[in-house]
Structure formats: structure tokens, C-alpha cells
Amino acid sequence: MKFFIDTADADEIRQAADLGLLDGVTTNPTLIKRAGLVREDAIKTICGFVPGPVSAEALGPDADTFISEGLELAKIAKNVVVKLPTNEAGLKACKALSDQGIDVNMTLIFQPVQALLCARAGARFVSPFLGRLDDVCSSGMDLIEELRVIFDNYGFDTEILAASIRSPEHVKQAALRGADVCTIPFGVIKKLLNHPLTDSGIAAFERDAGLH
């Protein structure tokens, strides 16, 4: 499973990249606002030091606007992935941009047939929002499982990008169910290595080795 970071904050991205396992970045208007940035500047900065896919969200509301925004965003860097909402306008724009060789990430996916349409429209990534489904007592993980079956049934190359990740348990479950990518907030990335038994074990070994 590939690891993306879900943030527009360059410091967080640099720290995650230092771990040596960062495959890409996802942003959205909320994350860009939270970082106090302008979208184009943020994407240009991130693409300056991240070689993997960097998702930048196009704003609509209609298909023509999504397409023209997507074309502009794609000019920023060759690793920009245009992020589009999963509605009729977004789907049309997905097809048009994908047909031109531009990578698209279809976002805000909450049920499997939405993702099936996006895969048919040529999306490189589909982003099911796990945490938000869990928030309304639905199972984000069932969605990943169903998407895996559907995409494998038809041999789609479209990657399942697990999003709205809130905990290390979400990361584990997404991996168990065959998500291709998990996009993880910085706070969750920092927790992925933690276990109190690891810490106490390291402390005991260091003590016994006379280190302190």
C-alpha cells in the first residue's frame, strides 16, 4: 500500500518525507485554507519537492469550469493530479481530462457505483471517505472491500485511495481490505509507529546494555 499525506502544510510534508516512505500528497480547499495558503502557490511549493502524485482540487460548479481549472492546475507541474467531486459535472470533466492524459482523483466517494462510474471515466484514483462514513454509522471499510472486488472483477487500473483517515486502525483496516493508497493526516502518521510495549522494551534493552 502506498502512503500519501493529507495536508497542504509544507513542513508536515517535509517531516513525513524524511521517513522515506512518502509516495504522494492530497490537498483539498479545507486543508489549503487551514494552512493559510493560496491553492496555486501551495501546489507549486509541494510539487517542488515531492516527486509523487500531488492532488489539487479544481473548483466548479460546471463541467466546463472543472475542465478549464483542471487544465490550468495540470500546467503547474507534471505530477499534479486534478481532484474533482463525484457528481455529474465532475464525471464529465474526469472523462475529458483523462482522455487528454491528465491524471484525475475523484473525491467524496461514499458508495461503490460512484467509483465504478469514475473508473469507467478513466480516473487514476478514487477517494472513498472512510471517516465520514463511520461518522454516520456506515462502514467505510465495507466500501473499500466492495470497491476492491468490483475493480478486480473488471481489471480496472484505477487506484483505491482511502481518504478521511482518522486513526492507525483505519490505516490497518484499509490495508487489510486491499486499498492501493492511504492518504493520512500528519497527526495519524506520527502515531503509526507507536506502541507502549515497544517503548518499554527499548528502554529495558538500553538499560540492560548499560546505556543509561
Quote the least distance from Cβ 131 to ligand G3P, whole Å.
5
Sign of the C-alpha dihedral, residues 183, 188, 190, 196? negative
Nearer Cβ to ligand G3P, position 6 or 12?
6
Q: Which of residues 52-71 bind ligand G3P (CB under 6 A)?
A: none
CB 102 within 8 A of CB 94: no
How far CA 117 is from CA of 99, 100, 103, 147, in Å, comes to 15, 18, 16, 12
Quote the least distance from Cβ 6 to ligand G3P, whole Å.
4
The pattern of x and - marking residues 116 through 155 that bind ligand G3P according to CB under 6 A reads: -------------x-xx-----------------------
CB 158 within 8 A of CB 1: no
H/E element holding 128? strand 125-128
Quote the least distance from Cβ 107 to ligand G3P, whole Å.
7
Q: Does the annotation count 83 as an active-site position?
A: yes
Under rule CB under 6 A, residue 6 binds ligand G3P: yes
Quote the least distance from Cβ 40 to ligand G3P, whole Å.
19
| CA dist., res. 62 & res. 77, Å (int) | 24
Which positions lie near ligand G3P, rule CB under 6 A?
6, 26, 28, 31, 129, 131-132, 163-164, 183
